A and B are shown apart, each in its own frame.
Chain A
């Protein structure tokens, strides 16, 4: 007689230190090996798309801050781009450069968080995380200086940015640009060849090119699998066609490659900021836009490359002061769809390493 064992169903979350928000995974285990996984989300649903239908076009910008709350500048950017596309508003040159600088600083800040959190899950408990947070603090200081807040910036406006840069911003940015490459090199020395990190992440959670493309995965997760796809290059928005930068790609598509792609992209972002800072002209930062924007009847879709992937805003207007419909293509939600395939077959300790390397923010998944 053979003894039959039942599969063990384990609830990970909804409140778990490694899920970066409220997210539940129903994991079916065979011993320590994951045989099935079902993501359960919706705990952070606030109905942002529906709320936006009741608000003016300008009043939606604070809502977009709360989508991907660790990269609020990028969300603002994507939203104002779509409104400007729909209403045919032209943005002053200086505002475009300020927007690019802000978006790239935000990319570095967001990658610092996710690299720190990913290393936490690999077992480097909080030491690298605190270093990353110190670097992020410098960027947050800059954001606080221009916008007045540290997390929900509400800085960009339809037709420009809310206010010009204060006079002490550019000297501080120059200092940051001088310091940051040194810091990235230091973190490479700390982590790049670390045996523990290599053992935990090399060859773990391989996302093949085909799966990534079929699952519409975007962002560093896609580039880690070796697909050279970046919307800043593929469909240049704003003024990204004026800058020189490379698109780093991985080869194997494992967790380590996704981590390396992020580190390399931070260097590329610094390159873009340097170029933008040199080319930045003087002038106004905001065009005259009516207080209540009334775009003509029509629909539009504008997408940008955020730290998580492709963030798109689909807007339908009926000439009233608020959009008829707004749909947000959230990169975190779409990247979540491949998580099940990545996790199956790996042990429970690898589950969160894979989860962390994909980089999900729950504010964006549930909206």
Chain B
């Protein structure tokens, strides 16, 4: 028979499993406990700056899904284009970030939200009022904007959590750390 040391392999394997059983859990209790996402996160929405946008429509030309719709009219008073309509259908958007990369006036940002499930399809369409940077409601991501990236909290890395906790003996109570505490810490730093 091909297995000379029968049972040894399984015993060895079980020792690994039992060691893992005694370890501190590495999972987190979503949605109560949230980890910080990447500073360059490409979230499920776009954020648009009214002041910086000139209506050049480079973003709409770059978008290979055709998700961005833009309408402008000439404004003769200050010799600029007035953006009449800026609409993004996030149902078509694949969050590739090419529009943000292409914008020559730094007027377009990726958002940071990732929970964008909606009940109706027409709710997926973002109007320019929803995505205005100047309204200050939405946090722009640091994708292609290093200044914005530096202001965001540091990404939680599993690799850092594990090195600390692999050394620790098993604990019965999981740590309850909320997002608000974490972001407050990051802001202090």
A327 — which chain B residues lie within 8 A by C-beta?
none
Does the CB pair B155–A144 fall under 8 Å? Answer: yes
| Cα A144 to Cα B155 with chains together (Å) | 9
Stretch at the interface among A162-170, A246-254, A330-338, A353-361: A162-170
Among A134, A145, A148, A198, which residue has its beta carbon within 8 angstroms of that of B9?
A198
Does the CB pair A191–B13 fall under 8 Å? Answer: yes
In the A-B complex, the 10 residue pairs with the closest CB atoms: A193-B9, A59-B64, A148-B40, A62-B96, A148-B42, A144-B38, A190-B16, A194-B9, A190-B13, A138-B159
Chain A, Cβ-Cβ closest to B110: A148
- Residues in chain B within 8 A of chain A (CB atoms): 2-3, 5-10, 12-13, 15-17, 20, 26, 37-42, 62, 64, 94-98, 101-102, 110, 141, 143-144, 149, 154-155, 157-160, 162-163
A56 — which chain B residues lie within 8 A by C-beta?
64
| Cα A55 to Cα B98 with chains together (Å) | 13
- A173-201 with Cβ < 8 A to chain B: 175-176, 179, 186-187, 189-199
A131 within 8 Å of B (CB atoms) = yes
Among B7, B38, B157, which residue has its beta carbon within 8 angstroms of that of A195?
B7
Does the CB pair A166–B149 fall under 8 Å? Answer: yes
Q: Mark A54-74, 1 if CB is under 8 A from B, else 0.
A: 011011011000000000000
Chain A, Cβ-Cβ closest to B156: A141
Does the CB pair A196–B10 fall under 8 Å? Answer: yes
Given A127-B17, A191-B13, also A175-B160 (CB < 8 A):
yes
Tally of A-B residue pairs with Cβ under 8 A? Answer: 108
Chain A, Cβ-Cβ closest to B96: A62
Does the CB pair B40–A145 fall under 8 Å? Answer: yes
Among B20, B96, B149, B155, which residue has its beta carbon within 8 angstroms of that of A131?
B20
Does the CB pair A195–B98 fall under 8 Å? Answer: no
Does the CB pair B160–A190 fall under 8 Å? Answer: no
- A42-89 with Cβ < 8 A to chain B: 55-56, 58-59, 61-62
Chain B, Cβ-Cβ closest to A149: B42
Q: Mark A118-153, 1 if CB is under 8 A from B, else 0.
A: 000000000100010010011001001111110010
Does the CB pair A141–B9 fall under 8 Å? Answer: no
A148 — which chain B residues lie within 8 A by C-beta?
38, 40-42, 97, 110, 141, 143
B144 — which chain A residues lie within 8 A by C-beta?
162-163
Does the CB pair A146–B40 fall under 8 Å? Answer: yes
Does the CB pair A186–B16 fall under 8 Å? Answer: yes
| Cα A59 to Cα B59 with chains together (Å) | 12
A138 — which chain B residues lie within 8 A by C-beta?
157-159, 162
| Cα A61 to Cα B95 with chains together (Å) | 13
Among A55, A176, A186, which residue has its beta carbon within 8 angstroms of that of B159?
A176
Does the CB pair A141–B98 fall under 8 Å? Answer: no
